[in-house]
Chain A
Amino acid sequence: MVLEEVEKEFSLRRAESIDGIPTFYCHRELVLPLMERLKRDFEVLLDITAVDYLGRKEKRFELVYHLLSLSEKMRLRIKVELGEGEKIPTLSFLWKNANWLEREVYDMFGIEFQGHPDLRRILLYPEFKGHPLRKDYPLKKSQPRIKLLRPERE
């Protein structure tokens, strides 16, 4: 696979990378066709995660995809900038494990994945309000499910 071709075809923007893994920004609209193309060479979806850059003017979140190609022996990182409330298509039909990874991102950041077959919280309990890895979630705010015998913090 020639990375330069894909880079040109999907007008990817190269991002700086301190660990040597090629990293690109992709436009939100082009994620689905890009991933469909990349799936041919990158058999493994290693991780989907997100970062909340609270305070940025427009696009608050950055969604990060980590891909691994066993045939090409290389890794690739794709970043997508997302604004508050912006949705992103699911990849769960391309890589099966994207299902749970996307549920985790939804759980922690509240980013919604369009077309996801089962977008529920995966780690936290259903009664939980808010998304704890958002930077505006209070650092030590817990939401007990049962009545506690004493207050947790002074």
Chain B
Amino acid sequence: MEDTLTEAPGTAADTTKITVRGLQVYYAGTHAVRDVDVDIPAKAVTALIGPSGCGKSTFLRCLNRMNDTIPDARVTGEICIDGEEIHDARVDPVQLRAKVGMVFQKPNPFPKSIRDNVAYGPKIHGLTRTRAELNEVVEKSLRRAALWDEVKDRLDAPGTGLSGGQQQRLCIARAIATAPEILLMDEPCSALDPIATAQIEELIDELRNRFAVVIVTHSMQQAARVSQRTAFFHLGRMVEYGDTGELFTNPADPRTESYITGRIG
């Protein structure tokens, strides 16, 4: 759409989209995220890596205020998107979430048809004018999520009847159909075969031209392949954050080094 306005990738990655300062998240008994400061660039892919339970998903859920839906989660600190504090009373979490899309760790297709799953976002936000336009959005999203060929003949079949990996791609298609500015992806390839993984990585690379993408992954290779920035989390803290190439070849922190070489985790 606005390709003419797109800046060259090199400079774009330098503008900051999300600024996080002093972020803390507490659940009823646990302090899940501690003192996180980070600047997430626009038009780049940021990977979050770290051992299981270190707070990656929790951090990700802060960025679109999904932690609001957990009754005993408490978030303090500052998160600014485009310079606007998202916890501000003037910010509507509903609009925020339309702008900051999310693909969840567990695939959660709605009990609706495949078409209605993808059309859900465009419909509630009124993004299309005609039925034809909506179908076009559905097809395009499914194609980009590498699912179209598998489901094009059964768009009216229930989304919950797909396989685990297909459901995961359906949820990706559903998220990109809403055309968010920032896309948060929590282990989007965890149930995918190498071919589908490659297609999703291609999609992520393409999304980077317009969106900021934050992806959680347990695969170092994937982080190295798709991201420009990488953050390493450990026990709720962000231990290290920097250029992906730099972090993987020359980690500053001994914990990062032992994680990426497979000694802790």
Partners in one complex: no
Query: Which residues from chain A sit less than 8 Å from chain B, CB to CB?
Result: none
Query: Which residues from chain B sit less than 8 Å from chain A, CB to CB?
Result: none
